[in-house]
Amino acid sequence: MFSVSKTILIGRMGRDPEVRVFPSGDRVATFSVATSERWKDKQSGEWKELTEWHRVVVRGPSADYAERNLRKGDSVYIEGVIRTRKWQDQGGNDKSSTEIHANEVKTHAKAKAKDASTPEIQGGSEAPEGSHGSFEGADNFQW
């Protein structure tokens, strides 16, 4: 049987990335991204909005990129897979967290173009192709 797990988010950063460094030297960045849907209520004629918050996890060079370039409020494109982490807290209670494990992180080029201190956003080659950078063609979205 064939199956695919792929998630694409285009939204806004909810907070600056938090980076943790493990004893092995691995770096992991976590942050939240908000996505919103808007629609017009058929009965009232009023515009409604539903905002969902997503926890995003990135590793390696993409974690470094996130730490240097992503800030609360930035428009971002995230591509990855959905993973659910499960554990028990100190009281023995089962806990879980559903996360997007990103393999591609991009910022909205026009939103960041004003910041000349981050030229790699415009297409530098600090990390392997496709892992991060800028994205174009999203101007039709209501940021």
- Separate counts of helices (H) and strands (E) for the chain: 2, 7
pLDDT single digits (tens) 43-71:
999 999 999 999 999 999 999 999 999 99
Tell me the whole-structure pTM to 2 decimals. 0.72
> Domains in the chain: how many in total?
1
pLDDT single digits (tens) 104-122:
999 875 555 544 444 333 3
Note whether residue 138 is domain-resident: no
pLDDT at 80 over 70: yes
* Helix%, strand%, coil% for the chain, nearest 5: 10, 50, 40
**One-letter amino acid identity for 131?**
S
**End-to-end distance of the chain based on CA atoms, in angstroms?**
38
How many other CB atoms are found less than 10 A from the CB of residue 100?
20
Indicate which CATH number applies to the domain containing 85. 2.40.50.140
Note whether residue 128 is domain-resident: no
Q: Report the distance separating Cα 41 and Cα 73, nearest Å.
A: 27
Task: Give the residue-averaged pLDDT of 7-13.
Answer: 96
